[in-house]
Amino acid sequence: GGSGAASTPPLAQPPSMSSWPHTWPALVALLLALRSCLVVAVQTIERDLKTPQSLAIDHKAGRIYWSEVGAESISSAFLNGSDVKQIMNSSQVGGEVATGVAIDSKAGKVYWTTQCCSVRRANLDGSEMEHLTNTTNGGGIALDTEAGKMYWTSWMNGTLWRADLNGTNAEVFLSHDDMKFPMDLALDTIRGHIYWTDVFVGKRTVNRASLVDGSGMLVLNVSSAIAQTNGIALDLGRNRLYIAGSMNDSANSTQPSSSGAIYRASLDSDENFLIVGGGDMEVPYGIVYDPDVGAVIWTDQKAGTIQRLDMRCAPGSLWVPSRTNASHAEVTYGPMNHGGLLSARCPSFYSGNVELVCYDGMVSVSSGTCAKQCSAGIYAELNGTNITYGDLDDAETLTAGCEGGLVGPVMLRCSDGVVVLQSGKCQVPKDCPADGKALLEAAYIEHGSMIHGTTKSFSCPQGFNGSYMLGCRNGAVYPVTGMCRASCETGSLWVDQVDGPLEVKHSKIQPGQKLNIFCPEGSAGDGIKLQCVNDYITILSAQCTITKRCPVGSQTVNGAVLNYAAQSEGDDLSARCPSGFTGSVNFTCVDGRLTRTGGRCYPDCPVGTIEDANNVSITHLGAHHEDVIVAVCPTGYGGILPLRCSDGTFSVQCSVADQERCSCQAKAEMPAPKSKDSVEVPVNMLVPIMGVVVLTIAALFLVRYAIRFRKARSLTKGCVAMPSTSTIATSGLPFGLPARRPGAGGGFLPERDGDTIADEAGENPSVECNVDRGSSIVPLPSYWATSEGFAISPDPNRINEVQQLMSETWRVCYTRDRMMVGGGTRVPVGCRVANVLRIENHRGYEKFFQHKERVAGRRRGCVEPFATTTDGKMNLLDGDGGEKYLFHGTTPEAAHNIARNLFRIDMAGSSRGCMFGPGIYLAENASKSDEYAKEGEGAYMGLAAMLICRAATGRVLRVESSGDFSGSVTSGEYDSVCGDRLAAAGTFREMVFFHEEAVYPEFIVIYARVYDS
């Protein structure tokens, strides 16, 4: 990464062959070391600049132009950095700071955008300045002088603009939902494309669209290694793109901040790679490419420099090691540009090609090898056999026989100049054993033992006419001559199929007739077609595939015996569990065996007795797995017991709140005097009467559940969950029994924390709406645009409202935290909101909503009102659980991370200490949270970030001195802590939360601080 590093020419000659095996590894290491020194030869042509940003080149005059945001100016110099001249400064244009720069060499004009307000131009020497058109948040700018058009980005607004070169006919050229923060742009007027970078956190891409109408928007696959994209420049001659960016994400990476990098990507393919990176590069931003001299020039926003890299390699030659480092080959090449690739053919006596790459004047091998060819010779086999071979290319193979009475064959292969044995061997031949079988035409014949190299004649088996001769070669029998022809009489023959010989039985076939036969058992297909021709059978076609079948059988699963019929290969079977069990089991016939693929048999619960908490024995009926039944307490006791059957065992289903009632209570004996008209009920009538009573109670519960469920359904959309001890899921069933969720396959909803049942007398008769926390009916804010997942969307209509909120809560007061965290000695007098982003994190909001509901239910309105300065400023809250809008200061990058991953208690104190305990710290004053906000980098340079959060304050513990008060909240006594330093020291109040779900970040505010001049 040094400036002006010297170039070392490649070696002219390789080491001598005698010393080659020992010196070549060292030479390779030396070459790699030299390349690592010469890969990056960067010249710094300008230093001590104040936040240089955009960069443009005047090819005609050989000068570069750049904007300096810190100096609020545009300057110019020759391509080597000499003759620096200031072209303009902000004082000449009403304080507007230049950002993007573009040059019209032919007309002698320089164009630029400003941060806040406009697009302007002037002569190349700065004279005759003109205001062309108004714009906001101007970024990169590019010119199509042939068409008389200019294009620029409004990066904070997520749009591309177009106008005539004189500023007329200004219009939004391109706006898209996927376009977040477009920054720099470049034009390909030859192919009709416009390119731009998008620096949105988590996106950071290079994009392309039609230059005609903005259609065909495409995200380019330039490089997965690029963590941030800033400036871009086109090499139209080679259809390539240069990118100024970084190798890591500064918001999330643990790497050093000095991770600047320059990349090059092909616009015709996915080919891309890093040209230069690291070293003293920090935040490369603007970039231009000069094809006349093969140089890339860029600004470094953070280092305050302009740097240049010349990229050409002179023609020459390179010694390339062979594939196995056994030799070397001299490969010649022509001139190459830096980063260019060249495919070179290996020299004589070598095979292959190598891909060469030019890195800053030095050529190296990118891929490929040169492998030495093998000259004709003799290979000596292990058993003493010599095998002769001719000239072979590298990797070429040769199959050869063995000599000296041995058998093979063997396969030789040329490997980088050396012939090696690929496979096979020369060996002593084997004889053929007896009882062997072979297929000869349609006859399956048998033979006795045979000696290697001999032949033997045989007669055809019964049902076939003819004779045949077999030979033996190295233990294998092969047909020599002869034929066995099947007779047209009733019998059987064999057909050769892919899976092996298949026996086919047939009836008598008359001469000339054809016979179609189904595939025999154990096979499947179109069948076999036979014909009798001249008293012999001819096989016209045979299409049968031998199949495997799973035979009839049974398997035991969890104690249940499942019987099944025979299944064909590949068949799927779903077997229902037998009586006494619930469920089904899935099987698949694989390779002749029925294999279990899923499911299970769960034993049902039999009739029996169970004891309650008071050791009272209660008789119950049987039930299927997962069923819930009600058992009636025996005579002399009152109450019922809900029982759940699970895997053959009953368990009592009682919530914690129902434990006292979820048992049989002994009835007090109250004998009543018998009147002469009293009637005694026979004992045998008690069971039917009790059954009627149970059914009546169950019916009443079901009616009550239906009424309450219908009411809840009608009030769910947009409703507010009032404090209650019941939910839709449980309020209609006794003792907090789980209710069936529609569409859940007959399963049951489990109880959730805090879900209890109101007394029959009506503990909460004023329930306005009940919400099943954990279900999908959590009411979303009406202004959200999504229904699930995660999204961050610009909310421009909210800017004025947020500006008013922050301005009205901004109080100028210096505290030590401003010095400790930000190192600042000046207190801003206010802020200017640049953008508002809405966070729609459904997972986080659902957790917050459920927590807020629990707080509201726990406090039941018995909470002292706690006022904050944000009350009534944004009318988006329902007030339940003490819901407030509060501020949290951070960096733009960290704000996006919190939006996605939410607040984490384990990160408490990462920005400063924990004065009131390890928790989430929020403030009612925007100026207090501003103490912890930090300005970002790149697109966020000069801009800070603040989160506006929903917070469920509930019952607030107010304290004036420091200490760890987390236990007061986690115990449930309080819901949040107010650190009242306003009362103690006259500064600010901070709100502290010790449950992550108590806070939901809803808006990201991007703003600039305003100071008193």
Provide the pLDDT confidence category of residue 212 given band limits of 50, 70 and 90.
very high
Average pLDDT value for the chain? 80
**Mean pLDDT lowest among 291-295, 528-532, 673-677:** 673-677
Q: Cα torsion at 886, 887, 893, 894 (round to 10°)? A: -70
Tell me which H or E stretch contains 808. helix 799-808
Over the stretch 585-609, which tens digit does the pLDDT of each residue have? 999 988 878 899 989 999 999 988 8
Q: Are the CB atoms for 199 and 228 separated by under 8 Å?
A: yes
Strand partners, 459: 467
* Local structure of 415: helix, strand or coil: strand
Map residue 663 onto helix, strand or coil: coil
Measure Cα distances from 666 to 185, 669, 678 in Å: 85, 9, 25
**Claim: this prediction has a pTM higher than 0.75:** no
Q: How far is CA 148 from CA 55, 192, 907, in A?
A: 21, 14, 54
Prior bond to 409 cis, omega within 30? yes
Q: How many C-alpha atoms does 917 have within 13 Å on its Cβ side?
A: 20
Q: What are phi and psi of 852, to 5 degrees?
A: -60, -40
> At which residue do the structure tokens 């970084």 appear?
246
**H/E element holding 420?**
strand 418-424
What number is the average pLDDT over the span 377-395? 81
Q: What is the mean predicted confidence (pLDDT) over 404-419?
A: 85
Q: With residue 899 as reference, give the H or E element that holds it.
A: helix 892-901
Pick from 238-242, 277-281, 766-770, 927-931: least confident: 766-770
pLDDT value at 471 more than 50: yes
Mean pLDDT (whole number) for 622-627:
85
Share of residues in the chain with pLDDT > 90 (%): 35
CA-wise closest residue to 336 among 307, 368, 312: 312
Which of these, 671, 610, 667, 681, lies nearest to 639 by C-alpha position?
667
d(CA 211, CA 233): 16
Q: Which residue has the tokens 């443009």?
A: 56
CA distance linking residue 506 with residue 396, whole number of Å: 51
Please state, in angstroms and rounded to a whole number, the distance separating the CA atoms of residues 112 and 138: 9
CB-CB neighbours of 143 under 10 Å: 23
Structure tokens of 938? 């790149």
**Helices assigned H by DSSP within 655-798:** 686-715
For residue 570, count CB atoms less than 10 angstroms from its CB and return exposed for 0-12, middle for 13-18, buried for 19 or more: exposed
pLDDT at 256: 45
pLDDT of residue 61: 93
Stronger pLDDT, 723 or 392, i.e. the higher one:
392
Q: What is the pLDDT confidence band of residue 691, given thresholds at 50, 70 and 90?
A: low
Residue type, position 642, single letter:
P
At 189 the pLDDT is 93
pLDDT, mean of residues 161-176: 95
Per-residue model confidence as pLDDT tens digits over 817-855:
776 555 566 889 999 999 999 999 999 999 999 999 999
pLDDT tens digit sequence for 961-996: 989 999 999 998 999 999 999 998 889 999 999 999
Paired sense of beta strands 956-959 and 976-980, if any: parallel
Per-residue pLDDT at 731 exceeds 70: no
Q: Which residues pair with 55 in a beta bridge?
A: 66
Query: Are residues 368 and 355 in contact, defined by beta-carbon separation less than 8 angstroms?
Result: yes
* 522 or 275: which leads in pLDDT: 275
Distance CA 712, CA 735 (A): 20
Q: How confident is the model at residue 735 (pLDDT cuts 50, 70, 90)?
A: very low
DSSP string, 276-291: EESTT---EEEEEEET
d(CA 857, CA 851): 10
Q: Which two tokens stand for residue 476?
A: 């294998």
How does residue 227 score in pLDDT terms, banded at 50, 70 and 90? confident
pLDDT exceeds 90 at position 749? no
Instruction: Name the band, by pLDDT with cuts 50, 70 and 90, for residue 417.
Output: confident
Q: How big is the chain, counted in residues?
A: 1013
Q: Looking at the DSSP assignment, which residues form a beta bridge with residue 218?
A: 208
Please name the residue ranges forming H helices in 513-650: none
Q: Which helix (H) or strand (E) segment is 140 a member of?
A: strand 138-144
DSSP code string of 571-611: -EEEEE--TTEEEEEEEEEETTEEEEEEEEEEEPBPSEEEE
Q: Tokens 């018998």 appear where? A: 674
Answer yes or no: is pLDDT of 400 > 70. yes
- Of these ranges, 30-39, 585-594, 659-668, 802-811, the one predicted with the greatest mean pLDDT is 802-811
Per-residue confidence band for 676, with pLDDT thresholds at 50, 70 and 90: very low
Look at 476 and 993; give whichever has higher pLDDT: 993
Q: What are phi and psi of 29, to 5 degrees?
A: -60, -40
User: Taking 90 as the threshold, does the pLDDT of residue 930 lie above it?
Assistant: yes
> What is the average per-residue pLDDT within 421-445?
82
Give the range with max mean pLDDT: 6-20, 515-529, 757-771. Answer: 515-529
User: What are the phi and psi torsion angles at 7 (to 5°)?
Assistant: -100, 135
Q: Specify which residues 426 forms β-bridges with.
A: none
In the chain, count of helices (H) and strands (E)? 9, 73
Half-sphere exposure of residue 704, counting CA atoms within 13 Å on the CB side?
A: 15
pLDDT for 238: 81
Which residues lie across from 344 on neighbouring strands? 354
CA gap 894, 215 in Å, rounded: 34
What 3-state class would DSSP assign to 729? Answer: coil
872 in helix, strand or coil? coil
Under 8 Å between Cβ of 115 and 154: no
- Distance CA(234)–CA(246), nearest Å, equals 18
